[in-house]
Amino acid sequence: MLKNALSAREIREKLTTKVLGQEILLYPVTDSTNLQLRQAAEKGAPTGLCIIAKEQTAGRGRLGRSFLSPPKNGIYMSVLLRPEIKLEQAALITPAVAVCVAQAIEAIAECQVTIKWVNDLFVREKKVCGILTETVLRPADQQLAYLVIGIGINLSDEGIPEAIKEIAGGILPTGETPPDRNQLIAEILNRMEDVLLPLQPDHFLPEYRSRSNLIGCPVTVFQNDIPQESGVAIDIDDSARLVLRLDSGEIKHLGSGEVSCRKTEKRD
């Protein structure tokens, strides 16, 4: 078997978890692992279920965008979590997962990972990973029912269309042997279990801040692709909101939306 071939058995052998990834479903191709996991959750699937696909035909990104998911070259995985946390704390999940994935990538590949608030991981100034956390509420009390945490990683830039090669890349430079995907998935799940159960902000927010490639940057804030305001990113607060000093001098804590760094003038 190819070193890089995905295998649920090989992933399980490398796990040190008690919950996450104890059940793994591996599909050759599916529409979206987030969508599949959501359907499984509605039928009562247990916390920790992990769905992985070798290829997605309708990968979903943040803000209603699509996430290109070609075969061979990526990791497309979703993890179900039924955590006992308040709805307000759900905003901490994506930053916590971003730190886990950054550490896991660095553990298996020679590279340095930075994080662009809130959910994008960068290597050599190109986006290599996106995280999409979907929150589902209980109809009865509007509290958290479960979370679907989706992670998409490019291993190399093979399959990335020319049109976006300036902003998206792979963990490893072109031509280098891709890392063992089973090992990378296990490293991610092992770290996620330690950091998400239980969720303690001081266990991951300091590292999230220190990996930030936005702090200190002049930025523009976009809503629905329309520039709204500009300023400088100065911090990430304890609720994982981006702290901005706007050009007007006002300090703003941004909980959602999209921000681009005007130093690099690249948007993903």
Which residue of 20, 21, 24, 32 would you call a contact of ligand BTN, by CB under 6 A? 32
Which residue of 101, 132, 236, 259 would you call a contact of ligand BTN, by CB under 6 A? 132
Using CB under 6 A as the binding rule, the residues of this chain from 62 to 81 that contact ligand BTN are: 62, 65, 67, 76-78
Q: How far is the CB of 37 from ligand BTN (least distance, A)?
A: 8
Residue closer to ligand BTN by CB (options 131, 160) is: 131
**54 is a contact residue toward ligand BTN (CB under 6 A):** no
Convert residues 76-115 into a mask of x (bound to ligand BTN by CB under 6 A) and - (unbound): xxx-------------------------------------
Q: What's the CA gap between 42 and 26, in Å, rounded?
A: 19
**190 is a contact residue toward ligand BTN (CB under 6 A):** no
Q: What's the CA gap between 65 and 79, in Å, rounded?
A: 20
Q: What's the CA gap between 17 and 82, in Å, rounded?
A: 16
Output the CA torsion sign for 50, 74, 156, 65: negative
Contacts from 4-7 at CB under 8 Å and sequence distance 24+?
Answer: 4/178, 4/179, 4/180, 4/181, 5/181, 6/52, 6/54, 6/181, 6/182, 6/185, 7/182
Which residue of 19, 41, 48, 60 would you call a contact of ligand BTN, by CB under 6 A? 60
**Residues comprising the chain, all counted:** 268
**159 is a contact residue toward ligand BTN (CB under 6 A):** no
Check if the beta carbon of residue 44 is closer than 8 Å to that of residue 28. Answer: no
Pick the stretch among 30-38, 174-182, 187-195, 232-240 that binds ligand BTN (CB under 6 A).
30-38
- Is the peptide bond preceding residue 118 cis, with omega within 30 degrees of 0? yes
Pick the stretch among 26-34, 42-50, 189-197, 238-246 that binds ligand BTN (CB under 6 A).
26-34
**150 is a contact residue toward ligand BTN (CB under 6 A):** yes
Residue closer to ligand BTN by CB (options 67, 146) is: 67
Q: What's the CA gap between 204 and 236, in Å, rounded?
A: 12
CB atoms within 10 A of CB 178: 18
Per DSSP, helices labelled H in 109-221 are: 181-196, 205-210
**191 is a contact residue toward ligand BTN (CB under 6 A):** no
Residues that bind ligand BTN (CB under 6 A): 32-34, 56, 59-62, 65, 67, 76-78, 119, 130-132, 150-152
